[in-house]
Amino acid sequence: MSKMIFINLPVADLAAAMTFYQALGFENNPQFTDDTAACMVWSEHIHVMLLTHAKWRTFTDRPIPAPTSSEVMLAIACDSRDHVDALNTAAAAHGGTADINPMQDHGFMYNRNLADPDGHVWEAMWMDMAAFAASSDPA
């Protein structure tokens, strides 16, 4: 089996969270989706499990962070600057918040941060490795 990551996130409203993630380009895997959880696929190796609060509590007794807190920032690679911008636009249009932190443009790397409806923080980023290599070349 190839290495994969499953990111588990507690959500207050499963249907709204699914709509939000679908708007960002995630696809639902119905094989691992029911009325307590939804598997949202970003790529072959990256899946986000959206769990109702009741389902979340079957895994841990730790408290669910408030939507205004930041426990982690999940960075996802985008194909272009336009894709980064499109994710932020989709976030704002589907119950999330765009640009929760200042946009960063380093020429070779561009990123913008967004939050889903439950306050989970995502960094949409694009990087041009050829431009990065050229900018760090001492010659």
Establish if 18 belongs to a structural domain: yes
pLDDT at 67: 86
**CATH number, domain with residue 94:** 3.10.180.10
Both 51 and 77 in a single domain? Answer: no
Per DSSP (E only), the strands in 12-134 are: 27-29, 37-43, 46-52, 73-77, 97-98, 104-105, 109-115, 121-127
Write down which residue in 39, 60, 81 finishes a domain: 60
Q: Is residue 137 over pLDDT 80?
A: no
For residue range 56-115, list pLDDT tens digits in order. Answer: 999 999 999 888 888 889 999 999 999 999 999 999 999 999 999 999 999 999 999 999
Please provide residue 8's backbone torsions phi and psi, each rounded to the nearest 5 degrees: -100, 125
| Same structural domain, 74 and 50 | no
**pTM across the whole model:** 0.87
Tell me the per-residue pLDDT of 21-53, one tens digit each, with 9 for 90 and over. 999 999 999 999 999 999 999 999 999 999 999
What's the number of domains the chain is made of?
2
